[in-house]
Chains A and B, each alone.
Chain A
Protein backbone atom coordinates (compact mmCIF):
# COMPACT_ATOMS: atom_id res chain seq x y z
CA UNK A 1 0.00 0.00 0.00
CA UNK A 2 2.66 2.44 1.05
CA UNK A 3 4.54 3.95 -1.83
CA UNK A 4 1.60 3.73 -4.22
CA UNK A 5 1.09 6.73 -6.45
CA UNK A 6 -1.32 9.34 -5.12
CA UNK A 7 -2.16 10.84 -8.49
CA UNK A 8 -5.00 10.07 -10.85
CA UNK A 9 -3.50 6.67 -11.62
CA UNK A 10 -5.87 5.24 -8.98
CA UNK A 11 -3.35 3.03 -7.19
CA UNK A 12 -5.97 1.31 -5.07
CA UNK A 13 -7.96 0.14 -8.04
CA UNK A 14 -4.88 -0.80 -9.98
CA UNK A 15 -3.54 -2.82 -7.08
CA UNK A 16 -6.72 -4.87 -7.07
CA UNK A 17 -6.83 -5.29 -10.80
CA UNK A 18 -9.30 -2.51 -11.59
CA UNK A 19 -12.86 -2.44 -10.28
CA UNK A 20 -12.65 -5.96 -8.97
CA UNK A 21 -15.39 -7.71 -7.06
CA UNK A 22 -13.86 -6.58 -3.78
CA UNK A 23 -14.50 -2.93 -4.60
CA UNK A 24 -18.05 -2.08 -3.55
CA UNK A 25 -17.93 1.68 -3.97
CA UNK A 26 -15.33 4.25 -4.80
CA UNK A 27 -15.28 8.00 -4.39
CA UNK A 28 -12.52 10.26 -5.63
CA UNK A 29 -12.29 13.50 -3.69
CA UNK A 30 -11.05 16.87 -4.81
CA UNK A 31 -7.35 16.18 -5.05
CA UNK A 32 -7.83 12.97 -7.04
CA UNK A 33 -7.28 10.59 -4.14
CA UNK A 34 -9.78 7.84 -3.56
CA UNK A 35 -11.91 6.43 -0.78
CA UNK A 36 -12.63 2.81 -1.69
CA UNK A 37 -15.05 0.46 0.04
CA UNK A 38 -14.01 -3.15 0.10
CA UNK A 39 -16.35 -6.07 0.52
CA UNK A 40 -17.40 -9.32 -1.03
CA UNK A 41 -20.55 -11.16 -2.07
CA UNK A 42 -23.07 -8.34 -2.20
CA UNK A 43 -26.53 -9.83 -1.72
CA UNK A 44 -29.52 -7.88 -3.11
CA UNK A 45 -31.84 -6.69 -0.35
CA UNK A 46 -29.16 -6.96 2.30
CA UNK A 47 -26.79 -4.30 3.61
CA UNK A 48 -23.63 -4.00 1.60
CA UNK A 49 -21.21 -6.48 3.09
CA UNK A 50 -18.50 -3.90 3.47
CA UNK A 51 -15.83 -4.56 5.96
CA UNK A 52 -13.50 -1.69 5.40
CA UNK A 53 -12.47 1.40 3.54
CA UNK A 54 -9.12 2.01 1.92
CA UNK A 55 -8.20 5.69 1.94
CA UNK A 56 -5.41 7.13 -0.21
CA UNK A 57 -3.17 9.27 1.99
CA UNK A 58 0.23 10.87 1.95
CA UNK A 59 3.07 9.34 3.93
CA UNK A 60 5.90 11.11 5.76
CA UNK A 61 7.63 12.11 2.54
CA UNK A 62 4.44 13.43 0.97
CA UNK A 63 4.29 10.39 -1.33
CA UNK A 64 1.21 8.24 -1.78
CA UNK A 65 0.23 5.88 0.98
CA UNK A 66 -2.91 4.38 2.38
CA UNK A 67 -4.98 4.02 5.52
CA UNK A 68 -7.53 1.32 6.26
CA UNK A 69 -10.67 1.99 8.26
CA UNK A 70 -12.40 -1.20 9.33
CA UNK A 71 -16.17 -0.87 9.56
CA UNK A 72 -18.28 -2.53 12.24
CA UNK A 73 -20.88 -3.94 9.87
CA UNK A 74 -21.37 -7.17 11.80
CA UNK A 75 -21.20 -5.78 15.33
CA UNK A 76 -20.31 -2.79 17.43
CA UNK A 77 -16.89 -4.21 18.35
CA UNK A 78 -16.06 -5.39 14.87
CA UNK A 79 -14.80 -2.03 13.65
CA UNK A 80 -15.83 1.59 13.45
CA UNK A 81 -19.58 2.26 13.53
CA UNK A 82 -21.13 5.17 11.67
CA UNK A 83 -21.98 6.73 15.05
CA UNK A 84 -18.34 6.55 16.10
CA UNK A 85 -17.11 7.95 12.78
CA UNK A 86 -19.58 10.80 13.12
CA UNK A 87 -18.20 11.48 16.60
CA UNK A 88 -14.63 11.53 15.24
CA UNK A 89 -15.57 13.87 12.39
CA UNK A 90 -17.49 16.15 14.74
CA UNK A 91 -14.58 16.27 17.21
CA UNK A 92 -12.17 17.15 14.40
CA UNK A 93 -14.32 19.97 13.05
CA UNK A 94 -14.97 21.26 16.57
CA UNK A 95 -11.20 21.42 17.02
CA UNK A 96 -10.94 23.17 13.66
CA UNK A 97 -13.63 25.64 14.71
CA UNK A 98 -11.79 26.36 17.96
CA UNK A 99 -8.61 26.92 15.93
CA UNK A 100 -9.97 29.05 13.09
CA UNK A 101 -13.45 30.23 14.07
CA UNK A 102 -14.35 30.06 10.37
CA UNK A 103 -18.01 30.38 9.45
CA UNK A 104 -17.78 27.44 7.01
CA UNK A 105 -16.46 25.21 9.77
CA UNK A 106 -19.28 26.31 12.06
CA UNK A 107 -21.69 25.32 9.30
CA UNK A 108 -20.03 21.89 8.98
CA UNK A 109 -20.28 21.40 12.74
CA UNK A 110 -24.01 22.21 12.60
CA UNK A 111 -24.55 19.66 9.82
CA UNK A 112 -22.61 17.00 11.70
CA UNK A 113 -24.47 17.70 14.93
CA UNK A 114 -27.74 17.14 13.07
CA UNK A 115 -26.37 13.93 11.53
CA UNK A 116 -25.17 12.66 14.91
CA UNK A 117 -28.51 13.47 16.53
CA UNK A 118 -30.48 11.76 13.76
CA UNK A 119 -28.54 8.68 12.77
CA UNK A 120 -29.49 5.31 14.23
CA UNK A 121 -26.92 2.56 14.02
CA UNK A 122 -28.01 -0.95 13.22
CA UNK A 123 -26.06 -2.13 16.26
CA UNK A 124 -27.18 0.62 18.59
CA UNK A 125 -28.30 -1.89 21.23
CA UNK A 126 -24.70 -3.08 21.64
CA UNK A 127 -22.48 -0.88 23.81
CA UNK A 128 -19.99 0.90 21.57
CA UNK A 129 -16.37 1.19 22.60
CA UNK A 130 -15.42 4.65 23.89
CA UNK A 131 -13.26 6.78 21.61
CA UNK A 132 -10.03 8.32 22.86
CA UNK A 133 -8.37 11.21 21.09
CA UNK A 134 -4.60 11.56 21.32
CA UNK A 135 -1.64 13.18 19.56
CA UNK A 136 0.18 10.99 17.06
CA UNK A 137 3.23 9.43 18.78
CA UNK A 138 6.52 10.91 17.63
CA UNK A 139 4.84 13.31 15.24
CA UNK A 140 5.93 16.94 14.88
CA UNK A 141 3.82 19.50 16.76
CA UNK A 142 0.32 19.70 15.35
CA UNK A 143 -2.08 22.65 15.26
CA UNK A 144 -4.70 20.24 16.62
CA UNK A 145 -4.87 18.89 20.17
CA UNK A 146 -5.17 15.36 18.75
CA UNK A 147 -4.66 13.63 15.43
CA UNK A 148 -5.38 9.99 16.33
CA UNK A 149 -8.82 8.67 17.28
CA UNK A 150 -8.77 5.26 18.91
CA UNK A 151 -11.57 2.83 19.80
CA UNK A 152 -10.43 -0.53 21.11
CA UNK A 153 -8.11 -2.13 18.57
CA UNK A 154 -8.88 0.38 15.86
CA UNK A 155 -7.34 3.77 15.21
CA UNK A 156 -7.68 6.50 12.61
CA UNK A 157 -4.92 9.02 12.10
CA UNK A 158 -6.15 12.31 10.71
CA UNK A 159 -4.02 14.59 8.59
CA UNK A 160 -2.71 17.81 10.10
CA UNK A 161 -3.83 19.78 7.09
CA UNK A 162 -6.99 19.79 5.02
CA UNK A 163 -5.05 19.31 1.78
CA UNK A 164 -3.65 16.02 3.06
CA UNK A 165 -0.01 16.71 2.33
CA UNK A 166 0.73 15.34 5.80
CA UNK A 167 0.28 11.73 6.79
CA UNK A 168 -3.24 10.64 7.63
CA UNK A 169 -6.84 10.79 6.49
CA UNK A 170 -8.12 14.24 5.57
CA UNK A 171 -11.39 15.48 7.12
CA UNK A 172 -12.87 15.59 3.61
CA UNK A 173 -12.01 11.92 3.13
CA UNK A 174 -13.54 11.08 6.51
CA UNK A 175 -16.78 12.77 5.43
CA UNK A 176 -16.67 10.81 2.14
CA UNK A 177 -16.27 7.60 4.16
CA UNK A 178 -19.33 8.54 6.23
CA UNK A 179 -21.37 9.43 3.17
CA UNK A 180 -20.66 6.09 1.56
CA UNK A 181 -20.98 4.07 4.79
CA UNK A 182 -24.52 5.35 5.24
CA UNK A 183 -25.41 3.91 1.81
CA UNK A 184 -25.07 0.45 3.23
CA UNK A 185 -28.12 0.72 5.46
CA UNK A 186 -30.38 2.92 3.38
CA UNK A 187 -32.13 0.24 1.30
CA UNK A 188 -32.78 -2.17 4.12
CA UNK A 189 -33.52 -0.41 7.38
CA UNK A 190 -37.09 0.49 8.34
CA UNK A 191 -35.59 3.61 9.91
CA UNK A 192 -33.94 4.52 6.64
CA UNK A 193 -35.50 7.99 6.71
CA UNK A 194 -33.31 8.81 9.73
CA UNK A 195 -30.28 7.37 7.92
CA UNK A 196 -31.17 9.45 4.87
CA UNK A 197 -31.56 12.66 6.85
CA UNK A 198 -28.22 12.04 8.53
CA UNK A 199 -26.60 11.25 5.19
CA UNK A 200 -28.09 14.42 3.71
CA UNK A 201 -26.49 16.42 6.53
CA UNK A 202 -23.14 14.67 6.00
CA UNK A 203 -23.32 15.41 2.27
CA UNK A 204 -23.99 19.06 3.03
CA UNK A 205 -20.96 19.09 5.36
CA UNK A 206 -18.89 17.36 2.69
CA UNK A 207 -19.85 19.95 0.09
CA UNK A 208 -18.81 22.79 2.39
CA UNK A 209 -15.53 21.08 3.28
CA UNK A 210 -14.77 20.35 -0.39
CA UNK A 211 -15.28 24.03 -1.19
CA UNK A 212 -13.13 25.04 1.76
CA UNK A 213 -10.33 22.68 0.74
CA UNK A 214 -10.46 23.87 -2.87
CA UNK A 215 -10.30 27.49 -1.74
CA UNK A 216 -7.29 26.85 0.51
CA UNK A 217 -5.53 24.92 -2.25
CA UNK A 218 -6.16 27.79 -4.65
CA UNK A 219 -4.86 30.29 -2.17
CA UNK A 220 -1.71 28.19 -1.75
CA UNK A 221 -1.13 27.93 -5.51
CA UNK A 222 0.06 31.18 -7.11
CA UNK A 223 -1.77 31.92 -10.35
CA UNK A 224 -4.31 29.13 -9.82
CA UNK A 225 -7.80 29.55 -11.26
CA UNK A 226 -11.06 28.63 -9.60
CA UNK A 227 -11.91 24.91 -9.77
CA UNK A 228 -14.98 23.88 -11.73
CA UNK A 229 -18.12 23.50 -9.61
CA UNK A 230 -19.15 20.03 -8.50
CA UNK A 231 -15.65 18.65 -8.72
CA UNK A 232 -16.61 15.71 -6.53
Chain B
Protein backbone atom coordinates (compact mmCIF):
# COMPACT_ATOMS: atom_id res chain seq x y z
CA UNK B 1 0.00 0.00 0.00
CA UNK B 2 2.68 2.44 1.00
CA UNK B 3 6.03 2.52 -0.70
CA UNK B 4 9.27 3.74 0.73
CA UNK B 5 11.86 4.55 -1.87
CA UNK B 6 15.50 4.19 -0.82
CA UNK B 7 16.33 7.26 -2.90
CA UNK B 8 14.13 10.20 -2.09
CA UNK B 9 11.91 11.42 -4.87
CA UNK B 10 10.79 14.95 -5.23
CA UNK B 11 7.15 15.58 -4.44
CA UNK B 12 6.48 16.41 -8.06
CA UNK B 13 7.98 13.10 -9.26
CA UNK B 14 6.06 11.13 -6.64
CA UNK B 15 2.73 12.69 -7.54
CA UNK B 16 3.28 12.03 -11.24
CA UNK B 17 4.30 8.42 -10.60
CA UNK B 18 1.35 7.89 -8.27
CA UNK B 19 -1.12 9.33 -10.79
CA UNK B 20 0.05 6.78 -13.37
CA UNK B 21 -0.97 8.98 -16.27
CA UNK B 22 -4.28 10.01 -14.74
CA UNK B 23 -5.13 13.56 -13.71
CA UNK B 24 -2.64 15.24 -11.44
CA UNK B 25 -3.82 17.01 -8.28
CA UNK B 26 -4.36 20.70 -8.83
CA UNK B 27 -2.22 21.53 -5.82
CA UNK B 28 -0.44 19.77 -3.00
CA UNK B 29 -0.43 22.10 0.00
CA UNK B 30 2.71 22.18 2.12
CA UNK B 31 2.17 22.12 5.88
CA UNK B 32 4.85 22.57 8.52
CA UNK B 33 4.26 19.69 10.92
CA UNK B 34 5.23 21.89 13.87
CA UNK B 35 2.57 24.44 12.85
CA UNK B 36 -0.08 21.75 12.47
CA UNK B 37 0.78 20.28 15.86
CA UNK B 38 0.59 23.71 17.44
CA UNK B 39 -2.81 24.40 15.89
CA UNK B 40 -3.93 20.84 16.65
CA UNK B 41 -5.19 20.33 13.12
CA UNK B 42 -4.43 20.73 9.42
CA UNK B 43 -6.57 21.07 6.33
CA UNK B 44 -6.76 17.28 5.83
CA UNK B 45 -7.34 16.71 9.58
CA UNK B 46 -4.46 14.25 9.68
CA UNK B 47 -3.09 15.55 12.98
CA UNK B 48 -6.46 15.65 14.74
CA UNK B 49 -7.34 12.20 13.38
CA UNK B 50 -4.25 10.52 14.80
CA UNK B 51 -4.61 12.37 18.08
CA UNK B 52 -8.21 11.25 18.51
CA UNK B 53 -7.45 7.62 17.74
CA UNK B 54 -4.63 7.65 20.26
CA UNK B 55 -1.61 7.65 17.91
CA UNK B 56 1.09 10.07 19.05
CA UNK B 57 2.58 12.07 16.19
CA UNK B 58 5.34 14.48 17.14
CA UNK B 59 7.83 14.14 14.29
CA UNK B 60 7.79 13.39 10.58
CA UNK B 61 9.04 9.90 11.43
CA UNK B 62 6.04 9.39 13.74
CA UNK B 63 3.75 10.58 10.97
CA UNK B 64 5.30 8.23 8.43
CA UNK B 65 5.07 5.29 10.84
CA UNK B 66 1.45 6.07 11.69
CA UNK B 67 0.42 6.31 8.04
CA UNK B 68 2.33 3.19 6.97
CA UNK B 69 0.86 1.05 9.76
CA UNK B 70 -0.66 -2.05 8.11
CA UNK B 71 -3.88 -1.32 9.99
CA UNK B 72 -4.19 2.05 8.29
CA UNK B 73 -5.92 1.31 5.01
CA UNK B 74 -7.07 4.71 3.89
CA UNK B 75 -3.95 6.83 4.25
CA UNK B 76 -0.75 6.41 2.27
CA UNK B 77 2.50 8.17 3.09
CA UNK B 78 5.78 8.57 1.22
CA UNK B 79 9.09 10.03 2.22
CA UNK B 80 10.03 12.74 -0.28
CA UNK B 81 12.75 15.37 -0.50
CA UNK B 82 10.43 17.98 0.93
CA UNK B 83 9.30 15.87 3.91
CA UNK B 84 6.46 13.32 4.15
CA UNK B 85 3.78 13.30 1.47
CA UNK B 86 0.38 12.03 2.64
CA UNK B 87 -2.37 10.78 0.33
CA UNK B 88 -5.93 10.25 1.48
CA UNK B 89 -7.16 7.30 -0.54
CA UNK B 90 -10.86 7.99 0.02
CA UNK B 91 -10.69 11.69 -0.83
CA UNK B 92 -7.84 11.54 -3.37
CA UNK B 93 -6.25 14.52 -1.63
CA UNK B 94 -2.56 15.16 -1.03
CA UNK B 95 -0.56 17.17 1.48
CA UNK B 96 3.13 17.31 2.19
CA UNK B 97 4.28 17.76 5.76
CA UNK B 98 7.62 19.49 6.12
CA UNK B 99 10.02 20.18 8.96
**How far does the Cβ of B67 sit from chain A's closest Cβ, in whole Å?**
10
Residue of B nearest to A190 (CB): B73
A196 to B50 alpha-carbon distance, docked (Å): 10
Chain A residues whose CB sits within 8 angstroms of the CB of B49 once the complex forms? 193, 196
The interface residues of chain B, by DSSP majority, are classed as loop
Interface size on A, residues (CB 8 A): 12
Chain A residues whose CB sits within 8 angstroms of the CB of B75 once the complex forms? 193
The interface residues of chain A, by DSSP majority, are classed as helix
Interface flag for B21 (CB, 8 Å): no
Chain B interface size band reads: 10 to 19
Interface flag for A194 (CB, 8 Å): yes
Residue of A nearest to B49 (CB): A196
- B74, A191: Cβ atoms closer than 8 Å: yes
Interface flag for A192 (CB, 8 Å): yes
- A192, B53: Cβ atoms closer than 8 Å: yes
Interface residues of B in 64-85 (CB under 8 A from A): 70-75
Residue ranges of B at the interface with A (Cβ–Cβ < 8 Å) = 45, 49, 52-54, 70-75, 88, 90
Residue ranges of A at the interface with B (Cβ–Cβ < 8 Å) = 118, 186-188, 190-194, 196-197, 200
